Structure 1
Amino acid sequence: MHTDLVAALDIGGTKIAGALVDGHGSILVRAQRATPARKDGDTVMRAVEEVLGDLMASPLWGRVTALGIGSAGPVDASTGTVSPVNVPGWRGYPLVERARAVVGGLPVRLIGDGVAIAAAEHWQGAARGHDNALCMVVSTGVGGGLILGGHLHPGPTGNAGHIGHISVDLEGDPCPCGSRGCVERIASGPNIARRALADGWRPGPDGDTSAAAVAAAVRAGDPVALASFERAARALAAGIAATATLVEIDIAVIGGGVGKAGDVLFSPLRKALADYATLSFVRRLTVVPALTGTDAGLVGAAAAVLKARMDATAGV
């Protein structure tokens, strides 16, 4: 069995990545296409088919036993459909059925991209050895996934742990999701930059208005940039503390572009967490940066397949 491989897809609004992954989490073959996000659904699917075609052309394809897909959401694993916010041509799109047809009927498992990150971090990264963890992506959006009782907990539709849409400000800004004061509306990269600009932060001569530019301004001592990051950190802390209070996680792992801001994010986040995570059973909660990097989506999609197979074998 150790010679078996898993095919993995990581589908986002910018790129569709594919890989053949072995039982140790090593990527043996890669393929990638840009996501034609503004085109119709079948055009997007053609890019997925091209990525799978590249993988199937590998001499290693004969060892592939299943396909794992981590997709931008919302996803619905119970119906095998996806409706990524940033890919308007896919609404209730039958991705699992279409992908299964391409790969000759192999088993296909679909999970949300936040759940994929959690699977990767628990298998290979910062949540390794932790039975109860929240793993988050903080970038253009804010997503997440849960490890509970030592197992990936995707929930019935594959979206459990979607911390970005916990409301942490009852009077907060309306969120595109329809709610108000969501973690994502405060702590995502574009919203950190939006808040800083609204409060008077001005970008440098290069005109860069990304969260990374705001983080650089924090390091240079800009108080407005600092205030925006501190507000984002408080929103994340409130969401993480709420999650820990609900399901007793002992570690929160943060990846994504904003997570790369380092101490600019983690210092105010740890300070804020002490204010929100106050009950005895959540005080030991730690917050750490993710370790799996840009391959997390692919490794996690493969991990979800491999872990499900191990659980089935063990009768879990």
Structure 2
Amino acid sequence: MQPPHGATGPLVAALDIGGTKIAGGLVDTQGRILLRALRPTPAGEDGDTVMKAVAEVLSDLRADPRWDAAVAVGIGSAGPVDAAHGTVSPVNVPGWRDFPLVPRVGESAGDLPVVLTGDGVAMTAAEHWQGAARGFDNALCMVVSTGVGGGLVLGGALLPGPTGNAGHIGHISVDLDGDPCPCGSRGCVERIASGPNIARRAVATGWRPPEGTQPTAAAVAASAREGDPLALASFDRAAQALAAGIAATATLVEINVAVIGGGVAGAGPILFDPLRAHLTQYATLSFASGVQVVPAKLGTDAGLVGAAAAAAEALRLEAFALSA
């Protein structure tokens, strides 16, 4: 029996759940998104209201004839997540605390198997399958945006960890006496290198955005491109923190490549040039010194593609050729 409407084999239904949007899609064995659905995240509402939006996304997908080819559901969610227990507690969705997302999605998806992972791990799965980490057996992939997350590929396989949070580089401490982080630690990579913290630090040192614009990392990057020393210094500090985290990871598990995605990566050379320079100062041991730093390729599609890839890998779906 041929899959309906042009699908090339079994499909995985994917969910990408964040604080502002809930995206859904049907992903084929080549990593193509054949169908999309979207709802805003009612992040300020109670847990059942947020789940209703998830169920609506799944209902949109199920209404398409191609749903008949779906064999699993993959979820990439803002965290923390607990894949072992199927629950999520996203920091930016207060109505979900230890929310039983996996069983609830299973009910809405016709009892297909459901695989949950953190959004950083999902991005990693996507970039290893179809993006900048393709062909590398050992990789760190990072999302540098409002927060900083990540995931690991080791020995050619995605390493989500027991709870789906392995590789969460954003909460490695790289400044032992640094500012307190909302996670409870101090001097975390995220506290230094995330977009809001790049802007916060620039403002604290006297930088001001152009009149009529907000103090964002994008605005800081624009000023840095024009040579503003305060803007350049804030990005340099972010790059230093990222380099220290990448070097620590390379020393611990021996990675070949670090892939950087997310909105802050859109700064381009303003971020990547000092990051590569700082990495040479931190990754000094022979087995850690050759790490390549490259931009991610999949952009906003990484969440859906990665959720599907993580599910296919966890369930050993042979039709999905996840290795290059």
Q: TM-score, normalised by structure 2?
A: 0.95
Instruction: Select 2:223's aligned residue among 210, 217, 225.
Output: 217
Q: How far apart, CA to CA, are the structure 1 residues paired with 2:138 and 2:198?
A: 29
Secondary structure at the counterpart of residue 280 of structure 1:
coil
Give the superposition deviation at 1:208: 2.1
Q: In the alignment, what sits opposite 1:310?
A: 316
Partner amino acid for 2:121? V
Instruction: Select 1:147's aligned residue among 153, 163, 166.
Output: 153
1:99-138 superposed matches below 5 A? 99-138=105-144
Q: In the alignment, what sits opposite 1:199?
A: 205
Q: In the alignment, what sits opposite 1:98?
A: 104
**Over aligned residue pairs, what C-alpha RMSD do you find?**
1.3
Q: How far apart, CA to CA, are the structure 2 residues paired with 1:308 and 1:110?
A: 10
Q: Which 4+ residue blocks in structure 1 deviate beyond 6 angstroms? A: 311-314
1:47 paired to 2:89: no
Q: How far apart, CA to CA, are the structure 2 residues paired with 1:15 and 1:47?
A: 9
Q: How far apart, CA to CA, are the structure 2 residues paired with 1:295 and 1:207?
A: 28
Partner amino acid for 2:81? V
Give the superposition deviation at 1:104: 1.3
Contact 1:23 1:306 in 2 (8 A): no
Give the superposition deviation at 1:311: 7.3
Q: How far apart, CA to CA, are the structure 1 residues paired with 2:94 and 2:299?
A: 27
Q: How far apart, CA to CA, are the structure 1 residues paired with 2:111 and 2:14?
A: 15
Q: How far apart, CA to CA, are the structure 2 residues paired with 1:216 and 1:28?
A: 36
Show CA shifts across 1:216-260 (max 9, x none). 000011000111000000000000000000000010000000011
Give the superposition deviation at 1:310: 3.4
Number of aligned residues: 314
Q: How far apart, CA to CA, are the structure 2 residues paired with 1:48 and 1:140?
A: 22
1:162 paired to 2:174: no
Contact 1:20 1:28 in 2 (8 A): yes
Q: In the alignment, what sits opposite 1:22?
A: 28
Distance 1:273 1:311, change over 3 A: farther
Q: In the alignment, what sits opposite 1:257?
A: 263
Contact 2:122 2:303 in 1 (8 A): yes
Taking only the aligned residue pairs, the percentage that are identical comes to 73
Q: In the alignment, what sits opposite 1:89?
A: 95
Show CA shifts across 1:186-217 (max 9, x none). 00000000000000001101222110000000
Partner amino acid for 2:69? R
Q: How far apart, CA to CA, are the structure 1 residues paired with 2:224 and 2:291?
A: 26
Q: How far apart, CA to CA, are the structure 2 residues paired with 1:184 and 1:262?
A: 19
Q: In the alignment, what sits opposite 1:181?
A: 187
Contact 2:115 2:314 in 1 (8 A): no
Q: How far apart, CA to CA, are the structure 2 residues paired with 1:275 and 1:264?
A: 18
Secondary structure at the counterpart of residue 75 of structure 2:
strand
Q: In the alignment, what sits opposite 1:243?
A: 249
Q: TM-score, normalised by structure 1?
A: 0.98
Secondary structure at the counterpart of residue 282 of structure 1:
coil
Q: In the alignment, what sits opposite 2:273?
A: 267
Q: Mean alpha-carbon deviation: is it higher for 121-130 or for 206-215?
A: 206-215
Partner amino acid for 2:188? C
Q: In the alignment, what sits opposite 2:237?
A: 231
Partner amino acid for 1:38? G
Query: Which runs of 5 or more residues in structure 1 are unaligned?
Result: none
Q: In the alignment, what sits opposite 1:172?
A: 178
